Amino acid sequence: MNALKKETEKIIIEAAKEVFVEKGLQGARMQEIADRAGINKALLHYYFRSKDKLFDAIFEDIMSEMFVVVAKNIRSDMSLPDLLEVFVKFYNDFFQKNPFYPQFIFHEIWQNPDRLSEIMKSQQIAPAEIVEKIQQKVPAIGNSGLTAQHMIANVLGMTLFPHIARPLFQRVFFNNDDGEYARFLNERTDFLKAFMSVMVQGATTLNDAGEPDEDF
Amino acid sequence: MNALKKETEKIIIEAAKEVFVEKGLQGARMQEIADRAGINKALLHYYFRSKDKLFDAIFEDIMSEMFVVVAKNIRSDMSLPDLLEVFVKFYNDFFQKNPFYPQFIFHEIWQNPDRLSEIMKSQQIAPAEIVEKIQQKVPAIGNSGLTAQHMIANVLGMTLFPHIARPLFQRVFFNNDDGEYARFLNERTDFLKAFMSVMVQGATTLNDAGEPDEDF
DNA sequence: TATTTTTTTAACCATTTGGTTAATTACTTT
DNA sequence: AAAGTAATTAACCAAATGGTTAAAAAAATA
């Protein structure tokens, strides 16, 4: 009865993901999604009513893929550097497989930040819990001014930025060679591991060189 | 004769920048640009022929704003940490004044990476020169596997990412408070300064903990 | 197998949107 | 001031696009 129905629905979602992720909500065309799914355009509306609804469906899907690692590991008893390493490795793999994702996600968040609030609720992860868990793992964190928030920004920045800036970086610094750039990305996860240990240590030391509050 | 002409042209460019930067090439509407400029839509075509041409004009403009700091300072005899500090401070200010810029730029680069090649040519800065200058300033760079490229990725990542991820971060970690987030951003430039000294030192040391090539 | 329900399609429709045109206004030049 | 040129506008146009509809095909039910 709905074995086929579920099947088409999946086909549509996959095609829609491809097109939306590549072109963005505004740039995507319903006709192109239908073509890539190999179905009639009217079916898109039959299953998802409107472009916006279809987009919402795939966007929540993608955000889930993003957050599930965090949700699955944040409650483990790993050390903070080990935990961060798990995240770094996951996102490095994930974004090499889905190069458009990071750029796409932030673009759509900027286009409609309110959508984020809805999605955070449906996710199995509360933002406050992340900070809380980090502070729990490293109680002395922030003693030097390097708060959990700064740490997250550092790790995510160093990890995600080379993916976001890939077309720029790869062209400018790596002759636009995919293989060279993949090697570059993978190198990074290794030294990021070392960096994180140092950072976590530094974050627990009072008033070292990293003291950031001098201006305030 | 063309004092007025130059004036309208500027008004158009400013309005176009606003709209394109907020909505992207696909999301922007010529009518909205005209409205914000307070002129008739036909004037846009009178001055710039097409949407694409208008976009090219403002995009090159914006990329110039981005690269001019690099071009102006890369040839100075500052130490590498001092030089990086100049960049970090500039981009931190620049993107607080223009919050949409980083997201916008990377979005459009992903949408059409080829446009980048054209623009790089017209810029007063060759990518090879940047790497070259860094190696010149710190000849021992890369001895530990931390190449100039990695350094650039680290510094830009930690600097730009909190701007790119702003709507996410600000909501999730700072109660969506503009002031709190501005403080957070400014704190970062201070400890990034300390970080860069450490990083440059680390990059010149052979086979320390940061050795990234173990897997290859 | 006949009938009812669900899925799929081709043909349409209304709106939006980038772009054009012909006329009007403003400005220069002589 | 008259004539000529450049800037500006209102009205229009064609193509693209999200969405609808009525009919056909397929599947489920009786």
Domain shared by B45 and B113, yes or no: no
Alpha helices in chain B (DSSP H): 3-27, 30-37, 41-48, 51-73, 80-97, 101-111, 114-122, 127-137, 148-164, 166-173, 178-203
Sequence letter at residue B55? F
Same domain, residue pair A154 and A204: yes
CB of A11 nearer than 7 A to strand C: no
Instruction: Read off the pLDDT of residues B2-34 as tens digits, 9 standing for 90 and up.
Output: 445 679 999 999 999 999 999 999 999 999 999
**In chain B, whose CA is at the least distance from the CA of A110?**
B167
Quick one: A104 and A175 in the same domain?
yes
Please say whether the beta carbons of B59 and B126 come within 8 A: no
Distance A114 CA to C3 C1' (A): 49
| C-alpha–C-alpha distance, residues A151 and A141, integer Å | 10
- Separation CA B20–CA B30 (nearest Å): 10
B127:A173 CB<8 A: yes
- For the residues B178-195, what does the mean pLDDT come to? 94
Q: Token match 């979005």: residue?
A: B107
| Angle CA B128–B132–B135, to nearest 5 | 145
- Identify which has the larger pLDDT, A129 or A4: A129
Q: What is the DSSP string of A163-209?
A: HHTHHHHHHHHHTT-HHHHHHHHHHHHHHHHHHHHHHHHHHTSTT-T
pLDDT digits (tens, 9 = 90+) for A139-181: 888 888 889 999 999 999 999 999 999 999 999 899 999 999 9
| Reduced DSSP (H G I as helix, E B as strand, rest coil) percent helix, strand, coil of chain A, to 5 | 80, 0, 20
One domain for residues A125 and A40: no
A2 confidence band (pLDDT: 50, 70, 90): very low
Q: Return all residues near B155 (Cβ < 8 A) that are at least 6 apart.
A: B84, B87, B88, B192, B196, B199
CB pairs under 8 A between A and B: 163
Residue B112 is predicted with a pLDDT of 98
For residues B143 and B135, what is the distance between their CA atoms, to the nearest angstrom?
11
Cβ of residue B55 closer than 8 Å to a chain A Cβ: no
Closest nucleotide to B2's CA, by C1' atom?
A: D6
pLDDT tens digits, A54-63: 999 999 999 9
Considering the domain boundaries, does residue A55 fall inside one? no
CA/C1' separation A44–D30 (Å): 31
Answer whether residue A215 is part of any domain. Answer: no
Evaluate whether A32 touches A42 at the Cβ level (below 8 Å).
Answer: no
Contact A116 B171 (CB under 8 A): yes
pLDDT score, position B4: 54
Count CA atoms closer than 13 A to B17's CA, side-chain side.
17
- Protein CA at A45 to nucleotide C1' at D30, angstroms: 31
Name the least confident of A11-20, A84-93, A155-164, B2-11: B2-11
Interface test with A, best of B135, B154, B189 (most A CBs within 10 A): B154
Among the listed residues A187, A206, A193, the one whose alpha carbon sits nearest the alpha carbon of residue A141? A206
If one compares B202 and B168, the residue with the highest pLDDT of the two is B168
Domain boundary among B31, B49, B67: B49
Could you tell me the residue range of the domain that residue A20 belongs to? 1-49
Query: From residue B209, how far is each of A85, A197, B13 by CA, in Å?
Result: 15, 10, 50
In this structure, the answer to whether residues B148 and B71 fall within a common structural domain is yes
Residues A171-197 have a mean pLDDT of 93
Number of domains in chain A: 2
Residue B40 sits in the same domain as residue B86: no
Asked if B52 CB < 7 A from strand C, the reply is yes
CB nearest B160 (choices: A127, A161, A187)? A161
Query: Which chain D nucleotides are covered by protein, judged by CB under 7 A?
Result: 6-11, 17-22, 27-29
Predicted pLDDT of residue A1: 38
Tell me the C-alpha distance between A32 and A90, whole Å: 31
pLDDT score recorded for residue B211: 42
The verdict on residue B160 lying in a domain is yes
**Among residues B28, B49, B70, which one ends one of the domains?**
B49
Nearest to B83 by CA among B94, B96, B93, B72: B72
If asked whether residues A5 and A75 sit together in one domain, one would say no
Amino acid letter, residue A13: I
CA B32 to C1' C16, whole Å: 13
CATH of the domain at A5: 1.10.10.60
Residue B193 within a domain? yes
**Higher-pLDDT residue of B72, A212:** B72
Contact at 8 Å (CB) between B196 and B85?
Answer: yes
Q: What is the residue type of A59?
A: F
B169 and B102 in a common domain: yes
Q: Is residue A57 part of a domain?
A: no
Distance of CA A37 to the CA centre of its chain: 26
**B residues 167-196 closer than 8 Å to A (CB):** 167-169, 171-174, 183-184, 186-188, 190-191, 194-195
**Structure token digits, residue A106:** 């932030």
